[in-house]
Amino acid sequence: MKFCPKCGTVLFPKGDCFECSCGYQKKITKESLSEYEVSEKVAPKENVIVTGDDIKTLPTTKALCPKCGNREAFWWLQQTRRADESETRFLRCTKCGQTWREYD
């Protein structure tokens, strides 16, 4: 596994380069491929870290986007205030990527 020298996240192959979400690119060569071990299996104790907004693994719900009017959004909860207060619900439009929050 190769990591970005600028920000430390995992580099992923895209086209003929390894690319990072921070903008760093490295051309793929035969020599650079020999540095990496590609495995289809992940051991149970290995951690897989995936970064980037292009990976859509969050749950979705029906919500009206205030920017584009789309009616579906990804959602997640995050504790943003004191522990004795409820979490903040964040929503991100599945169409335009606009993010907003809702409080209980």
Q: Give the model's pLDDT for residue 36.
A: 57
Task: List, in order, residues 6 or more apart from 65 with CB less than 8 Å away.
Answer: 71, 73, 93, 95, 96, 98
Annotated catalytic residue, options 37, 46, 53, 84 = 84
For residue 17, say whether it is annotated as part of any ligand binding site.
no
Q: Give the model's pLDDT for residue 44.
A: 65
| The pLDDT of residue 37 is above 60 | no
Q: pLDDT: is 80 or 63 the higher one? A: 63
Tell me, what DSSP letter sits at residue 50?
A: -
Query: Is the alpha carbon torsion for 79, 81, 82, 86 positive or negative?
Result: negative
Answer yes or no: 84 catalytic: yes
| The pLDDT of residue 85 is above 90 | no
Answer yes or no: 85 catalytic: yes
| The pLDDT of residue 83 is above 80 | yes
The CATH number given to 60-102 is 2.20.25.10
Domain spans of the chain, in order of start: 1-51, 60-102
Q: What is the mean pLDDT of the chain?
A: 79
pLDDT in tens, 41-66: 656 666 666 556 565 678 999 999 99
For residue 22, say whether it is annotated as part of any ligand binding site.
yes
Q: Give the model's pLDDT for residue 39.
A: 57
Continuous segment of H or E residues that includes residue 33: helix 30-34
